[in-house]
């Protein structure tokens, strides 16, 4: 019942794997749709009249240039919304990062339902902060800082929009899980951070060499030194 309010953070803090045990899985006017990992949900230029809210899983929103360059604009988790272009033509593409369950609302349903629109609106406000933060990353941070920021964003309660800086563990009481799952390939990380795959790889290797992070599987990272990593983000 309180579920909708608990995911306060704009980032993918909430994780991708949290199961949404809701009794209103398909709220009024919405229909639930599922997608396999890496399947395309909407394509830039599509005349889609749906607004999506993520119930389970993760979604990547991206844009392409004619020559193939890709920028992943945002990585969304449970509770996030997308498909809110001002016209009925989508300005971005969206792809499932993990197996994903979505609620698709018809555009008209959104217009007619103030409560729903309110929820989307509030959600959107968080996401806009994330977009702001990401613009700062893309415009002004070095490759190292981008990778550090990226990893820190995955730490629950840290690295997000309202990260309180390098304080000690357990600001909310819960233990500082320093093991994070990336869930993205190096190419996806590169396209998200505005880098190349090689630069991403090198930055990860450098962090490992310096003992700040550790990993065997390349998408399961243990953060050995949260404080140092946090400093490397450039934000603190």
Partner DNA sequence: CGCCATATTGAAACTAGTCAACCGGAGTGG
Partner DNA sequence: CCACTCCGGTTGACTAGTTTCAATATGGCG
Contact residues toward a second copy (CB under 8 A) are 8, 10, 61, 63, 65-67, 69-71, 73, 84-87, 89, 91-92, 114, 117-118, 121-122, 124-126, 128-129, 131-136, 138-141, 161-162, 191, 193-194, 234-236
Asked whether the beta carbons of 27 and 3 are under 8 A apart, the reply is: no
Secondary structure (DSSP) of 70-106: EEEEEEE-TT-EE---SSSB-SSEEEESSSEEEEEEE
How many whole angstroms separate alpha carbon 222 and alpha carbon 224?
6
Listed ranges 100-108, 117-125, 159-167, 180-188: which one lies at the site for DNA (CB under 7 A): 180-188
138 vs 227 by CB, closer to DNA: 138
- Axis-axis angle for helices 114-140, 143-153 (nearest 10): 150
Place of tokens 């993918």: 12
111 vs 220 by CB, closer to a second copy: 111
Q: Which residue in the set 17, 71, 201, 235 belongs to the binding site for DNA (CB under 7 A)? A: 201
Place of tokens 């339902």: 113
How many whole angstroms separate alpha carbon 58 and alpha carbon 28?
23
Listed ranges 8-16, 81-89, 158-166, 215-223: which one lies at the site for DNA (CB under 7 A): 215-223
**From the list DNA, a second copy, none, which binds 86 (C-beta under 5 to 8 Å, kind-based)?**
a second copy
Interaction mask 130-159, DNA, x per CB under 7 A? ------------xxx---------------
């Amino acid at each position: 019942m309180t579920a909708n309010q608990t995911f306060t953070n704009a980032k993918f803090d909430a994780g991708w794997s949290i199961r949404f045990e809701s009794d209103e899985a398909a709220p009024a006017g919405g229909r639930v749709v599922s997608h396999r990992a890496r399947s395309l949900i909407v394509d830039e230029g599509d005349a889609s009249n749906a607004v999506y809210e993520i119930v389970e899983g993760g979604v990547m929103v991206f844009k392409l240039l004619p020559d193939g360059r890709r920028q992943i604009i945002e990585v969304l988790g449970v509770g996030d919304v997308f498909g809110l272009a001002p016209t009925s033509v989508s300005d971005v593409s969206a792809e499932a990062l993990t197996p994903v369950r979505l609620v698709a609302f018809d555009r008209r349903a959104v217009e007619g339902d103030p409560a729903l629109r309110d929820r989307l609106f509030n959600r959107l406000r968080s996401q806009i902060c994330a977009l702001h933060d990401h613009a700062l990353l893309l415009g002004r941070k070095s490759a190292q800082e981008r990778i550090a920021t990226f990893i820190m964003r995955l730490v629950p309660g840290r690295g997000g929009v309202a990260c309180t800086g390098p304080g000690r563990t357990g600001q909310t009481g819960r233990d500082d899980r320093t093991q994070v799952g990336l869930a993205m390939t190096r190419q996806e990380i590169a396209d998200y951070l505005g880098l190349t795959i090689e630069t991403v790889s090198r930055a990860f290797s450098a962090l490992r060499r310096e003992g700040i992070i550790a990993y065997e599987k390349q998408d399961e990272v243990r953060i050995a030194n949260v404080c140092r990593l946090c400093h490397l983000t450039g934000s603190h």
